[in-house]
Amino acid sequence: MMNTKLSTVIVVGTPTEKPRRQPWGFSQALRLTAFLALILVVVYNVFQFSPVRQRLTWPSPSTEKKTPALELHIISKCPNAMHALTELVLPTIERVHDKVDFKLSIIAREISEDGSVQCLHGPSECEGSTFELCTQEQLYPDSETLVGFVECLTADYHQIPAREHYEACASNHTVDLAPIDRCMARDGGAYGHNLLVESVQHSKDVSVRISGTIRLNEQIYCIRDGPNWTNCPNGPGVDELVDAIEKLHDAASCYDGQVNLAAGYVADVSSKLGLGQ
């Protein structure tokens, strides 16, 4: 419109001359450039928000758990804990400690309003549980030593929290007690107490109340309840748990590979289109 008007004005202004081609050619080039720019913007935005791109980059590798999580919830001075550790968790961890992220969590009766914890077998159990949590913090991520040491403590759980018992197990599993003692003494005991409160609260939050509950990737895998194993769709066998962990571990590595491939593909296409990332 404006170009036509401009041309008209020019024609009117210079009636004796032929309409000049230059302004018309210039504005044509301008329109072509604007049109190309528009196409680029449209293509870029379509690409940016297209479902293809979302499928290729979603979910991002960082939001995926790479290592499967194995968790054992225990009451420290309790035979269920001993059976769960000796028969299933320790032999499993010995085989796949490098393929699983292990966590020990504590179960207690309640956390009072004043912040104190009531353990089923009294204050000596709370002390033993705090000691185990301090051990976990000091040894992480060496789950093989942690589980070996805690299994040793629990195999003779009546002796928890006797110092000689800790020392015998520590020497059998090459555990340095000094940093664990420091954790227990830190802030006059408040630090260790806080570890206990957090762990007990966590067990409550995930509704685990039976000592000897084993969870794999946050799902109940098996429970040692009294003399029996219950809630064990795969059975209480070590081979089956090792197998389940290895499958999750391998699936996680394949999945990450695919996501990385896809992300690489997107980056490659983007750079070829000169879109940058």
> Between residues 48 and 171, which has the closer beta carbon with respect to ligand NAG?
171
CA of residue 196 relative to chain centroid, distance: 21
Site for ligand NAG (CB under 6 A): which residue of 70, 106, 117, 152?
Answer: 152
- Provide the token pair at 245: 């962990």
Site string for ligand NAG, 156-195 (x = CB under 6 A): ------------xx--x-----------------------
- Per CB under 6 A, does 120 bind ligand NAG? no
User: How many chain residues are in contact with ligand NAG, going by CB under 6 A?
Assistant: 7
Cα–Cα distance for residue pair 203/38, rounded to 1 Å:
57
CB of 145 to ligand NAG, least distance (A): 14
Q: Which residues contact 200 (CB under 8 A, 6 or more apart)?
A: 106, 107, 108, 111, 117
Please answer whether residues 65 and 71 qualify as being in contact, where contact means their C-beta atoms are separated by less than 8 angstroms.
Answer: no
> Between residues 66 and 209, which has the closer beta carbon with respect to ligand NAG?
209
Please answer whether residues 157 and 149 qualify as being in contact, where contact means their C-beta atoms are separated by less than 8 angstroms.
Answer: no
CB of 172 to ligand NAG, least distance (A): 4
> Between residues 160 and 241, which has the closer beta carbon with respect to ligand NAG?
160
The torsion of the CA quartet 204, 214, 158, 95, rounded to 10 degrees, works out to -140
Which of 75, 71, 73, 96 has the alpha carbon at shortest distance from 215? 71
Site string for ligand NAG, 213-252 (x = CB under 6 A): -------------xxx------------------------
Cα–Cα distance for residue pair 242/248, rounded to 1 Å:
10
> Between residues 168 and 177, which has the closer beta carbon with respect to ligand NAG?
168
> Between residues 142 and 225, which has the closer beta carbon with respect to ligand NAG?
225
